[in-house]
Amino acid sequence: MPEKILDDISHRRYNPLRGTWLLVSPHRTKRPWQGQQEVSPSKNTLPEYDPSCYLCPGNKRAQGDINPDYKTPFVFVNDYSAVKEEQAEYKQEGEPKDLSSLLLRADAVTGKCYVLTFSPSHNVTLADLSPAEILPVVHTWTQIYSAHLSPKSPLSAISVPKTVTRAGNAISAPNAQYKWMQIFENKGAAMGCSNPHPHGQIWTTTGLPEEPTLELEQLMKYRHEHGGKSLLTDYAKLEMEKVERIVFQNTSFLVVCPWWATWPFEVMVISKEHKRALVDLNEAEKLDFAEAIAEVTRRYDNLFETSFPYSSGIHQAPLEGTDEEIEASHFHMHFYPPLLRSATVKKFLVGYELMAEPQRDITPEQAAARLRDCGGELYRRYLV
């Protein structure tokens, strides 16, 4: 604990991956807390198959399609996609110096959205699955990513076949070349997820969205200023020396509560070596990645003995980009969970966070220590 004083004083921490700051107020964890409610460990009362679930095998979806009787992760185009492949043309009119062109800007976005179920069982989550059971999900993510890569990308040459065939449905290459693929999961009602069936989403778009743009700029800047090195390789090395923010690690991946974490139990899964994207991972590394996901999600559930809500997502190389953008990309995954003190006490990003900058009370070092202690069997296996 070299900077021990930071456990007691308010300070700001820099997030080099986004180029932003956050306020840390560790002394506030000592204030009396009156709203806390301890609830008994939550059991899993869901059925393995729910006839009314639009994701369960053999069931009918909103637009009338019937899911196959799938046994491995199942992918389909979202029935309510946020972006579509086809839409009316739009081009901003007016001279570049017009006030409207300056202040009322818009860009058309096309793309394709998929839903991916992690398991045919309605009543499991990633926390219930073993690394070997999560591996097919990693394979499917890799195949979908490959199927959308630009032929011009240096990653295209090393990627797997271009067509994803799973459970009788094929994900064909898209109509147009999209730039970004966002793989993510919203888990739990607290994160606005309406269906407990284990699933994630994959959105591809013509433009590069805000978060990846911020990170890519920072990664490229670091690479440029540090002789071609990756910011996240250097960061992973530093965290392995410091130890105190490590939650878990295996040969290929490091799981940390980052120095700059905003959410109380925010976690980052970082490839120790420089990997640009899923297609850079060999089989052993994919299994290590699956293990890292299993470790994070199980520890989360064990922490407050509840099915822990979170949003998670993968950041990797854009589908199409300059050589510099692709080389600077560093494969990693974020987990942003909203829970603070118990299964029912959430952190809200409000007030100061919305108006000034993010703020946290418990330090990432304290959070990492809690999560390190939550390993072992999933708590609900012991419940009767």
Footprint of Zn ion on this chain (CB under 5 A)? 50, 53, 55-56, 122, 197, 215, 315
Give strand ranges (E) for the chain.
Answer: 11-15, 20-24, 74-77, 111-117, 164-166, 169-171, 180-187, 199-205, 246-249, 253-256, 267-271, 310-315, 332-336, 359-360
Residue 352, annotated ligand binder?
A: yes
For the bound state, the minimum distance from the C-beta of residue 58 to Zn ion, rounded and expressed in Å, comes to: 10
User: In angstroms, what is the C-alpha Rg of the chain?
Assistant: 21
Residue 170, annotated ligand binder?
A: no
Residue 31, annotated ligand binder?
A: yes
d(CA 165, CA 167): 7
Alpha-helix residue ranges (DSSP H) falling in the chain: 99-103, 131-148, 210-225, 231-242, 283-304, 323-328, 352-355, 364-372
For the bound state, the minimum distance from the C-beta of residue 110 to Zn ion, rounded and expressed in Å, comes to: 24
For the bound state, the minimum distance from the C-beta of residue 259 to Zn ion, rounded and expressed in Å, comes to: 14
d(CA 292, CA 334): 12
Cβ-based nearer residue to Zn ion, 111 or 198: 198
For the bound state, the minimum distance from the C-beta of residue 316 to Zn ion, rounded and expressed in Å, comes to: 9
Residue 186, annotated ligand binder?
A: yes
Catalytic status, residue 148? no
Looking at residue 51, the DSSP 8-state letter turns out to be T
Cβ-based nearer residue to Zn ion, 11 or 229: 229
Identify whether the C-beta of residue 360 lies closer than 8 Å to the C-beta of residue 293: no
Looking at residue 122, the DSSP 8-state letter turns out to be T
**How far is the CA of 317 from the CAs of 54, 216, 293, 329, in angstroms?**
32, 9, 20, 5
DSSP per residue, 307-323: ---EEEEEE---SS--H
Cβ-based nearer residue to Zn ion, 42 or 336: 336
Cβ-based nearer residue to Zn ion, 50 or 217: 50
Residue 122, annotated ligand binder?
A: yes
For the bound state, the minimum distance from the C-beta of residue 246 to Zn ion, rounded and expressed in Å, comes to: 18
Catalytic residue among 199, 226, 274, 330: 199
Burial class (CB in 10 A: 0-12, 13-18, 19+), 353: middle
Residue 62, annotated ligand binder?
A: yes
User: Closest CB to Zn ion belongs to which residue?
Assistant: 53
d(CA 249, CA 240): 9
3-class state of residue 229 by DSSP: coil
Cβ-based nearer residue to Zn ion, 26 or 364: 364
d(CA 364, CA 357): 17
Residue 330, annotated ligand binder?
A: no
d(CA 253, CA 288): 7
Cβ-based nearer residue to Zn ion, 37 or 63: 63
For the bound state, the minimum distance from the C-beta of residue 197 to Zn ion, rounded and expressed in Å, comes to: 3
Indicate the annotated binding residues for Zn(2+).
53, 56, 122, 197
Indicate the annotated binding residues for Fe cation.
215, 315, 332, 334
- Catalytic center residues: 199
Indicate the annotated binding residues.
28-31, 53, 56, 62, 78-79, 122, 186, 192-194, 197, 201, 215, 315, 332, 334, 347-348, 352-353, 359
